[in-house]
Chains A and B, each alone.
Chain A
Amino acid sequence: TSREKAASIKLMTDQQKEFQELARKFSREEIVPVAAAYDRSGEYPFPIIKRAWELGLMNSHIPEDCGGMGLGIFDSCLITEELAYGCTGVQTAIEANSLGQMPVIIAGNDFQKKKYLGRMTEEPLMCAYGVTEPGAGSDVAGLKTRAEKKGDEYVVNGQKMWITNGGKANWYFLLARTDADPKCPTSKAFTGFIVDADSPGILVGRKELNMGQRCSDTRGITFEDVRIPKENVLIGEGAGFKIAMGAFDKTRPPVAAGATGLAQRALDEATGYALERKTFGKLIAEHQAVSFLLAEMAMKVELARMGWQRSAWEVDNGRRNTYYASIAKAFAGDIANQVASDAVQVFGGNGFNSEYPVEKLMRDAKIYQIYEGTAQIQRLIISREHFGRFKK
């Protein structure tokens, strides 16, 4: 019967359940207890990152022939959501690896993949995605970092900003302008490079002190006559913009999953508190003002989860998922902020205080509406995709 069929449909394979259990156990036992301390000190959580690397929870997208596990986006999102539940600062540091690696995974040749992805599975190394500049974030076409071809090398000059893992990376994916002609279309003017972090001329800025995800390492990076061998160009001169944007279809679902993990944590903390705290003679959970708040939080968390699941499933099944990835990221980022703020509200005065876990969640949540494509950029993408579908 259709009812029996519905009951037998598995939402996840057994292996996926095991992955999720491993990530959940690691997150609850090893990340949660130390997250507050890392938030206060801002120290890079390398011990946790190393542990996650040892357990195979990082670098999940690296293809098997480079020593990785070649997991799909859905599987890695399952892991990401669990890690984010523990601390999104830790999870962002880990996720930045996937973001930096994605251009190489989708556009690298065998030599580049073996060299730069292979090393990530041999030791716990970090990498970074270097696109944003002080003067250009959303407007990628406005990038000013220049790469000039000189013989067998490119000489790079410019500045990047807000680079996650900027001070810890072993190598960067770099997007720079190779065609100086302002009339050159965006689709041809930029080139993607892999840059070794120890290249002479790279000046790593100070660790930026941010509102949230404070243990994540975010820096400005200056390039002064940095020489990159032509072997490190991805695909070819002028192909950079498409590569940089193409990576997002695969990295936005995990970012959405991260925001969902944070929201789930906020919901769980608020629910636990509501079932303990009493006011006006009963548990605050028994007051409808609070229970309705929690109900709406639960709605948002479940829907955000379905958002990343759909977008991950689409791309894993070989379809262009831009529309879904954008919706997932936009929605999850927005609700993470709402749910974290509501969690502080449920905790009342205690929520505003650093002895309780929810104020950190509110500070950590904000960046989800900004990085990996702002909430506004996502709306631009979604409306464009939406009109495109409508016109068909």
Chain B
Amino acid sequence: YIVTIRVKPDHSGVVTDGVKHSMNPFCEIAVEEAVKLKEKKFIKEVVAVSCGPTQVTETIRTALAMGCDRGIHVEVSGKDYEAMGPLQIAKIFAALAKKEEASLVILGKQAIDDDCNQTGQMTAALLDWPQGTFASEVTIDGEKVKVVREIDGGLETIKISMPAVLTADLRLNTPRYATLPNIMKAKKKKIANMKPADLGVDMVSRVEVLRVDEPPTRLAGVKVETVDDLVAKLKANGTI
């Protein structure tokens, strides 16, 4: 995922116009897990959801080509899209989860552009559902889900009741390619279109971005000939 990110001249954010967007890698893993659960017959139907402008339908199509049954595109564009963050998305997902009577909401653990790692947790809280985050293994056992979670200390295994929210971590699975025949079949699958207002969700942001800056440019180093020189230099600039 090599992209040269540029900060907008007004420091309000990064330039996204004309930058190729694709499905967040952790979300690819989430889609793959959902499709696998369906293939193992634990769940009946997988609905791929994305919030954003028109281009988002391309990402939904990829999810359909991977095996999801249908898609929902929640249209958010312009200023609302620029200000959209985990809380608004979580509200949308919570509303849709209730509307669709979902038994599981599976997301990537975080987006690799903003690294928030909040949407899954907020969705669970809004729904008052249990959550299995940073999942590296998911097993359905009747009405419960066993989740092996990657935590700082190692692995933690929990058992939660459905309906539940899960977030996918790196080692949960290896996402499949959408095969050519599946890309063709995906064309016939439906993508429903709606707006946040249709779900009773307000898109007002409670977060105000003050300024976005690039990291400071790395300064050139200085070469020294001896250890004594090194100690002298470190003392001179106050490091020791």
Contact = CB atoms under 8 A, between A and B. Distances in A.
Contacts of B61: 14, 18
Contacts of B180: 19, 22, 55-57, 60, 69, 79
A231 interface: no
Interface string A1-41: 00000000000001100110010011000000000000000
A54 interface: yes
Contacts of B171: none
A25 B177 contact: yes
Nearest to A121: B181
A19 B186 CA distance: 12
Contact of A22 (B58, B177, B187): B177
Interface string A46-60: 000000001111001
Interface residues of B, number: 13
Contacts of B62: 18
Contacts of B182: 56
B184 A55 contact: no
Interface of A: 14-15, 18-19, 22, 25-26, 54-57, 60, 69, 79
Contact of B178 (A14, A18, A69, A79): A18
Contact of B177 (A55, A60, A69, A79): A55
Nearest to B62: A18
Contact of B65 (A18, A25, A26, A54): A18
Contacts of B178: 18, 22
Interface of B: 58, 61-62, 65, 177-184, 187
A198 B215 CA distance: 66
Nearest to B57: A14
A55 B58 contact: no
Contacts of B179: 22, 54-56
Contacts of A19: 180, 183
A32 to B, nearest CB: 14
28 contacts: A14-B58, A14-B61, A15-B183, A15-B184, A15-B187, A18-B62, A18-B65, A18-B178, A18-B183, A19-B180, A19-B183, A22-B177, A22-B178, A22-B179, A22-B180, A25-B177, A26-B177, A54-B179, A55-B180, A56-B179, A56-B181, A56-B182, A57-B180, A60-B180, A69-B180, A69-B181, A69-B184, A79-B180
Which 8 residue pairs of A and B lie closest in terms of their CB atoms, listed nearest first? A56-B180, A56-B179, A55-B179, A18-B183, A56-B181, A55-B177, A57-B180, A22-B178
Q: Which of B65, B178, B179, B183 is packed against the most chain A CB atoms within 10 Å? A: B183
Contacts of A55: 177, 179-180
A22 B175 CA distance: 13
Contacts of A26: 177
Contacts of B58: 14
Contacts of B184: 15, 69
B174 to A, nearest CB: 12
A18 B177 CA distance: 11
A57 B181 CA distance: 9
A19 B58 CA distance: 13
A14 B61 CA distance: 10
Given A14-B61, A19-B180, A54-B179, 20 more contacts: A15-B184, A15-B187, A18-B61, A18-B183, A19-B183, A22-B177, A22-B178, A22-B183, A25-B177, A26-B177, A55-B177, A55-B179, A56-B179, A56-B180, A56-B181, A56-B182, A57-B180, A69-B181, A69-B184, A79-B180
Nearest to B187: A15
Q: Which of A14, A22, A54, A60 is packed against the most chain B CB atoms within 10 Å? A: A22
A119 B179 CA distance: 19
